[in-house]
Structure 1
Amino acid sequence: MSVKHAISRGLELGRSVFQLGLLKSGGRVVAKLRADRFRVGPSVRTVQPQAFLPSRYRYYRTSLKGLAAQLQSAGFRRRFGGGSPRNRAVFLAFGLGVGLIEQQLEDDRKSAATCQEIQAVFSKKRFQTPLKPFTSGYKLEDYIIGNQIGKGSNAAVYEAAAPFAPPKGGENGSLVQLREDEEEGETNRSLTCCSLKKFPLAIKMMWNFGAGSSSEAILKSMSQELVPAAAQALKQENEQITLDGHFGVLPKRVSAHPNVIRVYRAFTADVPLLPGAEEEYPDVLPARLNPDGLGNNRTLFLVMKNYPRTLRQYLEGSTPSRRQGSLMMLQLLEGVDHLCRQGVAHRDLKSDNVLLEFDSDGCPRLVITDFGCCLAQSDSSLQLPFNSMWVNRGGNASLMAPEVTTAVPGSGVVIDYSKADAWAVGAISYEIFGQHNPFYRAVGLESRSYQEKQLPPLPASVPADVQLVTRLLLRRNPSKRPSARVAANMLHLSLWGRKALANQDSIGMKKLADWLLCQSAVVLLKGCSGPSGYTVEAELQRSFLSNLDLEDLRTAYSSPSSSPSPSMESTPTSS
């Protein structure tokens, strides 16, 4: 419990005394208290006691419990010593109130210690990427490139394989070990499984218009793409280049996370004539490949895992179950929270920039990708000075948070991106639950001017907790909008704490801490769910426990959305 909250509880207790009629004149009581302040002053001073003071006196000076005892004692002395009824009531009520506050603070200290211990246990085990250790792969010639699998506004993506790195066991294959399908013909894996086995990697070729053809210039210009790069993604000599990027600072490298893409290799090479290049993007080719092309001879290539499809492609043909939809939204919040904790704002979050695969239970696993528009400054403030209209606000204008799209450039103006990606998750949740994104349609809403009451309702089948979290994420005022961490905690408590925390109003932080300990034991006992690694639910539970913070948890716990909802009782099923 915060000090502010504790004091307010004490004041509420005093107010109840007034309402019971024990005190008739508020003004006179205040005057009395001011007069009596000097008699009880030693117990409320904030000056630290001197070492030579008796231990009992130091206890009164530094402990709320000691203050409560002194106030109660003063109340009884006035009771039997002829003090006025008003003073007796004030001292007794306030003394009892401070005693209760001390007990609650003690419970909070124990709960905070429990959260820290659990966080320490689960933070030690970092997320392990599926990449097999190897030392090659820094040249385009090291890879076998297949067909084009995607194209955006600044890059084309091709399927690829790396025969130089066979999987464990010595079989011929590629550097990423893919699990076998559990069932032949399962709809979630049927169309792309063969291609993924043959080409488990994806190579992203950036389009280079104005960065020049030197490796140093290319890496500096496209440094934001390297934010999710692994430790050995670049050659050692290229790691020494000062990648100052568009904002004049060294961009961050985020640590591995199950819901954030991982770049295994990044290198520069001559632009090749890949399949579909002359038809799909002739203008970005260099003059040696297309006389009318405007591109430079060299560009940046990024090597990543190959995912079957994007979130948008999946939702065009599939409808996730209620529970799967909740887990998908929760994964996006966990990914955004991971980026925010490391000082990165994606600034272009949309269903096209989220990749998707399936775990061993058939649940969609989401991965945030495409960091070309991200803000990754070294100070981790997530605040961008906006002193000119030429400052880049980010990517997709339709999914810019209100505080971003309404910002007016000027001296001293900054745009705070700390909750902008969380707002975008709220908008994407409409797509996850089978609705049109309200900010995409031609006659839809504009983030610049919409009113919260204009937001369309989600389908009635969507859990009430998820509906509430979505509405909170889409609040216009960022100060009234939950952070990605708090919103994720609200869904975590709803999904896994509904039975243990069913009577929310009648329990305190101690019972919540007990539930956290039980949840930790369950997750540790489960461990990995087989050779395929963690399932989506296991990954989410571990993310929750490794990011425990008492204040964030209290904020989520006190929200109405953390109460149990019957609609969340559905068991996980495949879509």
Structure 2
Amino acid sequence: MSVKQALTRGLELGRSVFQLGLLKSGGRVAAKLRADRFRVGPSVRTVQPQAFLPSRYRYYRTSLKGLAAQLQSAGFRRRFGGGSPRNRAVFLAFGLGVGLIEQQLEDDRKSAATCQEIQAVFSKKRFQSPLKPIISGYKLEDYIIGNQIGKGSNAAVYEAAAQFTPQKESISEKSLPAVQPKDDEEERETPRSVACCSFRGFPLAIKMMWNFGAGSSSEAILKSMSQELVPAGPLALKQEKEQITLDGHFGVLPKSLSAHPNVIRVYRAFTADVPLLPGAQEEYPDVLPSRLNPDGLGNNRTLFLVMKNYPCTLRQYLEVTSPSRRQGSLMVLQLLEAVDHLCRQGVAHRDLKSDNVLLEFDSDGCPRLVITDFGCCLAQSDSSLQLPFNSMWVNRGGNASLMAPEVCTAVPGDGVVIDYSKSDAWAVGAISYEIFNQQNPFYRGTGLESRSYQEKQLPPLPSSVPADVQLVIRLLLRRSPDKRPSARVAANMLNLSLWGRKALANQDSVGMKKLTNWLLCQSAVVLLKGCSGPSGNKVEAELQRSFLANLDLEDLRTAVCFLLYGQCQACILSA
């Protein structure tokens, strides 16, 4: 055996011993480092030997770095102490191999520390709700209500404007973001009077829930419709109402969601008598109380939610517009960022569809998507996103057409739970077809059902859709949730594809040095843009900040591996 072959064999042996677990204690060190998110500094754990190792290897109790040094020095000593050249070379290379393992762990610790530092900086710069604290708006009489702008199976939505005094109790200029892409300054003015039923005159929207069986007491209504309050701000309810235990059908409601640019914000929530609003007798007579319609089945009081008024839904926008390939990528990314935000706070929407996504435009005309309608959400106190499924009467959620395979195929039984941690991400994959002007493959009449489809049956996306975006959509629509990336990993993939393509060139899925350097540069750029004023494209700036605020080395490494896998598959297909 030549010296080169001996060295190669020793290096391979050094790596394989670690990877196969012969140095199981070394594996425990690595696992501990990863569990602690690769804390910077030398490990305080010692490496314990395996019982089957010879007694002369008892110095394996030292750290990997010390072990590598001892192995290497022992190899040099043997150089002058006899033994065959082959054994000496293998022994020396074995030490070098263990040293490479320790170097890899050290690089991981540094990369993880960098991610944590970046995350800490941008976590403090989270999105703030545009609504400033006000003391009014807790009564229906505080609002002027215009025409109906939407109606679903559980509520009707009307345009509205606040009537309270602008100087002290109104929504300030900055509290009402622009709704027109090119007229930002004017749209931020508080409407003092309503001249017509236009979008400019009604910056708010009031959602009136339909109350069939909750009773007419405020406490009963709030408990029954508690899911609708998940996106409510801290001042949405009156102080005396905040003490009510909101225990909806799916468990005790956790703290309200923190503000996010891609999740609806409920500014006010209150109960009031059901009024006779425009179109009520024609659109929803059966849900009216008997005092308004003798044949009506509704209760006298119900829940009202005050939110921002958006120009249209995603479905309405896509019916008349074809987004560019970059805008389409940004729209998919926004949905993933919103779903990740929900998952991190223990909420599963369970009714994602293009009708439940609202849309406005930033100053550059880029669509900003906002997820709304949380009436079917799962928001339990333990934030596990797992629903015990012991009876067929347990509600799986809404929107059967876009229900993830693990949800719609679940069979009730003792100890059965439905895991919703990746179900919303699957729905984003299905909605992505609509974003790129294709028919949603899971709507009725299209031939596919989430219960029984095979991945190879998914229709191809247009060739104009970027390859990385197509890869993300295919991965999101995998039947098995174990093989499906989380919303965070999928969002990381799109972030890297949009802004870090150069950093991925010749990138090793294990070594993260090049990518870490890019993260530092990207952080500096985003911070400088934030300090120097508006960056122009606000949607892109929000997405970049969200990406950096949620950095995690393992999620980032997984995203890189998926992208490299996609590149390899593309090379194989083109060969």
One of 58, 62, 78 as aligned partner of 1:41: 58
Partner letter of residue 67 of structure 1? L
Does structure 1 conserve the Cα–Cα contact (< 8 Å) formed by 2:251 and 2:381?
A: no
One of 390, 401, 405 as aligned partner of 1:402: 405
Describe the shift of the 1:194–1:555 C-alpha distance in structure 2 as closer, same or farther (beyond 3 A). farther
Residue 302 of structure 2 corresponds to 299
For residues 56-71 of structure 1, what are the structure 2 equivalents within 5 Å? 61=62, 63-71=63-71
Describe the shift of the 1:171–1:12 C-alpha distance in structure 2 as closer, same or farther (beyond 3 A). closer
Greater Cα offset, 239-248 or 323-332: 239-248
Residue 10 of structure 1 corresponds to 15
Residue 109 of structure 1 corresponds to 109
Residue 126 of structure 2 corresponds to 126
Shift of 1:95: 1.1
Describe the shift of the 1:285–1:505 C-alpha distance in structure 2 as closer, same or farther (beyond 3 A). same
Aligned to 2:73, what secondary structure does the other structure show?
helix
Residue 6 of structure 2 corresponds to none
Shift of 1:415: 0.5
Describe the shift of the 1:122–1:83 C-alpha distance in structure 2 as closer, same or farther (beyond 3 A). same
CA offsets per residue over residues 421-475 of structure 1, 9 Å max, x none?
0000000000000100000041421111110000001000000000000000000
Does structure 2 conserve the Cα–Cα contact (< 8 Å) formed by 1:164 and 1:174?
A: no
Aligned to 2:503, what secondary structure does the other structure show?
coil
One of 354, 359, 365 as aligned partner of 2:357: 354
CA offsets per residue over residues 17-52 of structure 1, 9 Å max, x none?
xxxxxxxxxxxxxxxx99763211232x4xxxxxxx
1:524 paired with 2:549, answer no
Partners of 1:254 and 1:382 in 2: CA distance = 15
1:497 paired with 2:500, answer yes
1:535 paired with 2:538, answer yes
Does structure 2 conserve the Cα–Cα contact (< 8 Å) formed by 1:150 and 1:157?
A: yes
Does structure 1 conserve the Cα–Cα contact (< 8 Å) formed by 2:315 and 2:354?
A: yes
Describe the shift of the 1:148–1:167 C-alpha distance in structure 2 as closer, same or farther (beyond 3 A). farther
For residues 164-175 of structure 1, what are the structure 2 equivalents within 5 Å? 164-166=164-166
Aligned to 1:195, what secondary structure does the other structure show?
coil
For residues 47-446 of structure 1, what are the structure 2 equivalents within 5 Å? 61=62, 63-83=63-83, 87-166=87-166, 176=176, 178=178, 181-182=181-182, 195-446=198-449
Between the two proteins, the alignment pairs up a number of residues equal to 519
Does structure 2 conserve the Cα–Cα contact (< 8 Å) formed by 1:504 and 1:563?
A: no
Describe the shift of the 1:222–1:456 C-alpha distance in structure 2 as closer, same or farther (beyond 3 A). same
Partners of 1:460 and 1:138 in 2: CA distance = 51
What are the ranges of 5 or more consecutive residues in structure 1 without an aligned counterpart?
A: 1-5, 16-32, 46-60, 185-192, 566-575
Partner letter of residue 138 of structure 2? Y
CA offsets per residue over residues 115-166 of structure 1, 9 Å max, x none?
1111111111221222233110000000000000000010000000003153
For residues 539-550 of structure 1, what are the structure 2 equivalents within 5 Å? 539-550=542-553
Describe the shift of the 1:173–1:273 C-alpha distance in structure 2 as closer, same or farther (beyond 3 A). farther
Describe the shift of the 1:177–1:365 C-alpha distance in structure 2 as closer, same or farther (beyond 3 A). closer
Partner letter of residue 506 of structure 2? N
Shift of 1:559: 1.9
Does structure 1 conserve the Cα–Cα contact (< 8 Å) formed by 2:406 and 2:481?
A: yes
Does structure 2 conserve the Cα–Cα contact (< 8 Å) formed by 1:382 and 1:416?
A: yes
Aligned to 2:291, what secondary structure does the other structure show?
coil
Give the share of equivalent positions with the same residue, in percent: 83
Shift of 1:270: 0.3
Residue 46 of structure 2 corresponds to none
Partners of 1:13 and 1:212 in 2: CA distance = 65
Partners of 1:438 and 1:461 in 2: CA distance = 18
Partners of 1:179 and 1:410 in 2: CA distance = 49
Describe the shift of the 1:489–1:248 C-alpha distance in structure 2 as closer, same or farther (beyond 3 A). closer
CA offsets per residue over residues 49-82 of structure 1, 9 Å max, x none?
xxxxxxxxxxxx1x21111111223333444433
Describe the shift of the 1:271–1:179 C-alpha distance in structure 2 as closer, same or farther (beyond 3 A). closer
Partners of 2:172 and 2:425 in 1: CA distance = 43
Partners of 2:411 and 2:566 in 1: CA distance = 40
Greater Cα offset, 492-501 or 210-219: 492-501
Describe the shift of the 1:108–1:179 C-alpha distance in structure 2 as closer, same or farther (beyond 3 A). same
Partner letter of residue 558 of structure 2? T
Aligned to 2:502, what secondary structure does the other structure show?
coil
Shift of 1:532: 10
After superposing on structure 2, the runs of 4+ consecutive aligned residues of structure 1 that deviate more than 4 Å are: 6-9, 12-15, 33-36, 84-87, 167-175, 528-534, 561-565
TM-score (norm 2): 0.85
Partner letter of residue 67 of structure 2? L
Aligned to 1:117, what secondary structure does the other structure show?
helix
Shift of 1:500: 3.5
Shift of 1:485: 0.2
Shift of 1:527: 1.2
Shift of 1:510: 1.6
Partners of 1:171 and 1:103 in 2: CA distance = 56
Partner letter of residue 57 of structure 2? V
Greater Cα offset, 79-88 or 511-520: 79-88
Partner letter of residue 373 of structure 1? C
Partners of 1:7 and 1:149 in 2: CA distance = 67
Greater Cα offset, 271-280 or 531-540: 531-540
Partners of 1:358 and 1:96 in 2: CA distance = 57
Aligned to 1:337, what secondary structure does the other structure show?
helix
Shift of 1:12: 8.1
Partners of 1:161 and 1:325 in 2: CA distance = 32
Partners of 1:308 and 1:105 in 2: CA distance = 51
Partners of 1:14 and 1:251 in 2: CA distance = 42
TM-score (norm 1): 0.85
Partners of 2:440 and 2:351 in 1: CA distance = 15
Partners of 1:559 and 1:406 in 2: CA distance = 27
Does structure 1 conserve the Cα–Cα contact (< 8 Å) formed by 2:509 and 2:560?
A: no
Describe the shift of the 1:99–1:260 C-alpha distance in structure 2 as closer, same or farther (beyond 3 A). same
Shift of 1:508: 2.8
Residue 450 of structure 1 corresponds to 453
Partners of 2:14 and 2:408 in 1: CA distance = 40
Partner letter of residue 151 of structure 1? K
Shift of 1:281: 0.4
CA offsets per residue over residues 494-513 of structure 1, 9 Å max, x none?
10011233222499312211
Residue 188 of structure 2 corresponds to none
Partners of 2:236 and 2:171 in 1: CA distance = 25
Does structure 1 conserve the Cα–Cα contact (< 8 Å) formed by 2:143 and 2:160?
A: yes
Describe the shift of the 1:8–1:116 C-alpha distance in structure 2 as closer, same or farther (beyond 3 A). farther
Shift of 1:97: 1.1
Describe the shift of the 1:506–1:157 C-alpha distance in structure 2 as closer, same or farther (beyond 3 A). closer
Residue 513 of structure 1 corresponds to 516
Residue 31 of structure 2 corresponds to none
Residue 56 of structure 1 corresponds to none
Describe the shift of the 1:525–1:38 C-alpha distance in structure 2 as closer, same or farther (beyond 3 A). same
Shift of 1:86: 6.2
Does structure 1 conserve the Cα–Cα contact (< 8 Å) formed by 2:158 and 2:207?
A: yes
